[in-house]
Every structure is written in C-alpha cells, then in structure tokens.
Structure 1
Amino acid sequence: MKAAVIYTAGGPENFAIEERPIPTPGEGQLLVKVKAFGLNRSELMTRKGYSPGVQFPRILGIECVGEVVTDASGEYKPGQKIAAFMGGMGRDYDGSYAEYTVLPKQIIIPFESVLPWEVLGALPEMFQTVYGSLHVALRIKKGQSLLIRGGTSSIGLLAAQLAKNAGLRVIATTRKPESREALLQNGAHEVLIDDGQLALQLKALHPAGVNHVLELVGTLALKDSLQCASIGGSVCMTGMLSEQWSVPEFSPMEFIPAAVNLTVYDSGQIRISAEHFQNFVREVKAGMVKIKTAKVFKLDEIVEAHRLMDSNIAKGKIVVVTD
C-alpha cells in the first residue's frame, strides 16, 4: 500500500511517500480501506514536533472515512462505510495518511451515505468537534448569543451554521476585513475584525457581553475572550490556531473574570454517538448544512496539502483522497 510517512519533525517536505505492506488487524481491530481524510491543526503540530510522546517514524492522521476490509469478529461486514477519529490515531499508532490502516473498534462510527468521498472526508473530526463544543461543553440554547473567535477556520465556519440553525445569534471574527462578507453569507449575524483586543469592540456593541464564546485561536487570545462573556456566560477553548499549548504563569483569580465559566472540548475524551453523526450526514446531503472545502488533494500531494495548511489562507477544510 501507499503511505505518507514522516521520520523526523519539521516542515511539510519531511513527508515521504512509501510502499508498505498492508497491516494486519489484531483482536478488537478492523482493517480499513481509507478513502479520504481531512487535515487538522493537531497534525501540523505533531509534524512540527510539538506533540509530547509521539515517536517517529509515524503515519499521521487523526481521522478518516473509508470501508471495512476485514473484521474477524463479524460485527462489521466488508464494504461497510465507517468514519474514525482520535483515540490515539496518528499519534500513538499509525493513522490515516495511507491507503489502508488498522483501527480499534472503539473509535469507529458506521454510517450510510451516497455523498462523494471528498465531501465525507471533511466531516468526522469537524462535526465531532463542533457538535461537542456547542452542545456538550457550552450547552447552547435557542435565543442565546455566541461569539466564534477564529470564524474563518473550518471549525468556525461549521459552528456558525449549526449555531444559527439552533436559533442563536452568531458573532464571528476574522483578522481580514475582506472575509467579512463570506462570514455573513455563512450564517454570522455580525462580524468583528480581530485586532487582538476583541473585548473592547464587543463590549461597545454588547455591553453585557455574550452568553457563549467558542475560542478557536487558542491560549494567546483566551484571556481577552474571557472578557467577552457575560456574567454566568461560558467560554470553551477548542482550537489552537496559535499553535501554543499553555498559558504562561496562569493565575486563575486574575485570568478568569468572576462568574464566567471556562471549559475545553477535546474529541479524544468524549465521543459523539453514531446517531448524531448519521443525522449530520443527512443534513449535509439535504443541503441544510454547507461544507466549505478549501481544496482536495491526492495522497501523493500530502506535502502541498500541508503547505496550504501552514499558510493559514485556506478558507475551509483541506481534504485528501486516496484514490
């Protein structure tokens, strides 16, 4: 099989396309024919050597869609469409940057769909992250307000649509004024240009703050985002576009405003049910949710795909197909 392998941490050019034997599944595992996968910022950080405990060489990839090849238990039949994400995939063991991969059953979600693989490849981790952030971490309700910091990211674009469909007022941010109209067309009711001091802008328009903040920029913006929340409001840090894991000299009493809740969402710790994912796939097929794909690459083009992710100019999900 063909696989994209990285031997040492560094830039996109460190990927090598190799021929490797098709792996053999063990007990509790499936052999999966990978059809497509999305790129994720965590893979960029792993590639750069920022993920503690990851050993090289490694086949990266924390998500994929594909078809079951073999399941010794008989639970899954050959040809069953599946989605898989997280659970150590592409970090503790080889992931989806290959034509075939062996995966533990606990990270598998079966589904049915006639959507093309390049669309399905954008969905698993993006849906899991957005749905979990909004409904599990923030517990959004109709009539509330939501600030999405990092609105032009693939997560931000989907979050705006799902929040609007749920009846929330959505405020999205971007650093680029030319992205304003695209965010409004994507579901945002308001767009703010992020200059690093967003709380001043937001409080001028909404003095009491917003009910919820979905923080996608990460630790560099977190303190300012906390100032955007209303009393009793919540901030969920889900993304790390800034590529920085921690807050230096964190002092909770000074960092977190009184009566504002701070949480995180990590799809590696919480799983969304197969039923929720199947419903989401149906909504995409029906046109109720629009998936913004930045560009679709082939597996041989993994270097170019990572260069696009590095550039931070992709407005949407970057997808790789194996066929």
Structure 2
Amino acid sequence: MFGIKRPKSIDDKTWEKYQEDVTAKVLLLEKQGWPIESIKEFGKYFKEMLGRKGQSSNMSEIVSSCYSDTQIVGTKVFDNMWYAWKADRISASESKKKLSGLMKITGMDKLDEKSSADQLRAVADKINKKMKPDDKFWGSLAGTVEKAYYPNGMKGDLGKQLHLFRYVISYQQAKYIVDNYKGRTDEEKLINYIVKEKIWNWTADESARLHQKLYTNSQNTIIYPNGHSNANGGVNLKVVTNTRFRSEFIIIGDGKFLALLDKDATQDAKANCSSFNYARQNDYIHQVLDVNPAGENYNYEHQFREEARYIHDKYGNRIIDTNTGKEKIFAAPKLSNMNQYENNVNKFQKKFKGRVLS
C-alpha cells in the first residue's frame, strides 16, 4: 500500500500488521469524509516519515503517529490533505462536506450552544499551537465557508458548529500571541507580533461598537460588565489582522485581550469578546456569515455567553428593570450614541498605531 515495498528485514507477521494498520487508518480518514486525493497525501507523508526513520523502524508506530498528525489542524500533513481537496473551487455541497470533515476532526461536531467553555477549549487543542493568526489556512477556511453558505446563510447543525468554531479560533489566536511574544500586557505582545512578523494587513480603525456593551439605567448611570477597565478612557480597542478583518483582538484599557474561552474570562470578556470573521470586510457577506448567526433569528450563541450579557443579583438571578419590566441586559451603544466615546476611541487607536510604527 502507498507504493511501499516490503523491507527484507520484516517478517510476514509484521508486514501483515502494518498493512492492517494502514488499512484501518485509511478507513478512518474515509469515514471523516476525506477524498482519495487527500488520502494520497497521507500516504506521501507516511512514506516521507518512514524514509526519515528508516524501514527498520516500527512501522505500526509510524502509521499511528502519521495518522495522529492528520487529526491536528495546521500540521504539514493536514495542510497537504486540506489543499488537495479542491472543494472551494467546486460547489457549495462539496464545500460543506469538507467543512463537515473539519468539524469531525476538531470534535466540534459533538458540541452545540449548550457546551461548556472547557469543552470548547478542548477543541482548541486540536489546532496546531504553532499556527499564527495570519496563517493562510484561515483564509482558505473562510473561503470554503463563503462558498458553502453565501448567500443562503449559516443554516443547519453544520452552520451552527462553524459559527461556534469562530470563538475557538479566536481563543487559539489570542493564546498564540500571549504564549509566543514578549510584553508586559497582551496589547504589547500583539504589537511585537505585528512588528516582528512584519504583518502589513492589520488595522486598529475597525469599529469596536459591538464590543462596548453596557447598561444605562433610568438615572442615566452607566453600568459595565464585571471586569471592565476604566483605563484609556474606559473603551475597548479592536485590532484586526488577516486581510485587516478576519482575526480580531479586543483589548481593554489595561491591555488585556477579551477572549470568551479564557480560563479566567470575566463577564466583560464573555460579553465583549473577539471572534474570527469568515468575511474579509464589513459588508453584506459579513452580515450573512458572521453577524446574523449571532442574532436572535438563529440562536446559535453559547448559552454561557448569552447569560453573561445579563445583570444579576448576588444570588445569580437576572435583575428586572422596574421601569420597563424587562431584564437588565448589557447592549452595544446605538450608532447615534457613539459620538460620546469617539474621542477616547480615537486616542486609544492613535496610541496603538503609534507604538506599532515607532
């Protein structure tokens, strides 16, 4: 199989075991939906690894190791298999098959809006820890999603899984920055990433309105989610890379990222967190692929995130506004009200850009 000749040093029993192991792994890949073109890439990778380690090595162990590599997004063999599958150039239905395979590999196919943060963090472990936010795979994934779901919308279980996966991607990307670059704060580490890696397609000018959720009571007193920072004017900054849009980093005034799946995520982090965008700019495609699935018409959002948007009493119960009879909920300011934050937002943006370009 895979054009590998039996080494003279291997006996019949060992050779049969190797063939059984390879056949079993190929069947598993087929079950995940990989086409023959991709499985051939698995074979090439196995031959390469066998050549490196020598044919006197334990072939079954090499088969197992190579298969494990196919189950991590962003490894060499995964990338080769992914790009061998030309679904994004074929049809919406074939693109959905490809995306379904990705969800099976990551384990997202078993999760939904009721899943916990711990379960979603486990999915992030299925992404290569060395994958940068600007890795070309993310653009390929986004293009495949667009082919599969635009303009009809992110409907069905697969659409929901892909929507929830946006927060996993964003968590992995933020963690990559935090774990791999120097700085006293997450903001400084992001600056060092942009500078060191010569990232040119970034901007701090995208609107962060949806990441400034707050509550104004009947006395016009503003209440912020727990964990809110008053530094830098009390506003949150949005920095995006990857076509200046796809990879989001939401930064609070004291320089920390707001990521939904952080183990120490505050209420502010859950309500105002970053997410990966499948669209490449703020247009109608963005509405269809990224914005609408987070709205009430879909109800795809994580339940633990949705709960964080409400104001609770000390017993954890949602508080009712006696004037309106409605539950108190943190919401983004209206566009017409953003002018009162404009000065502080501009200062934060200018400060960040100045530090990158200095």
State the TM-score, normalizing by the size of structure 2.
Answer: 0.23
Bigger Rg over Cα: 2
More helix, by proportion: 2
More strand, by proportion: 1
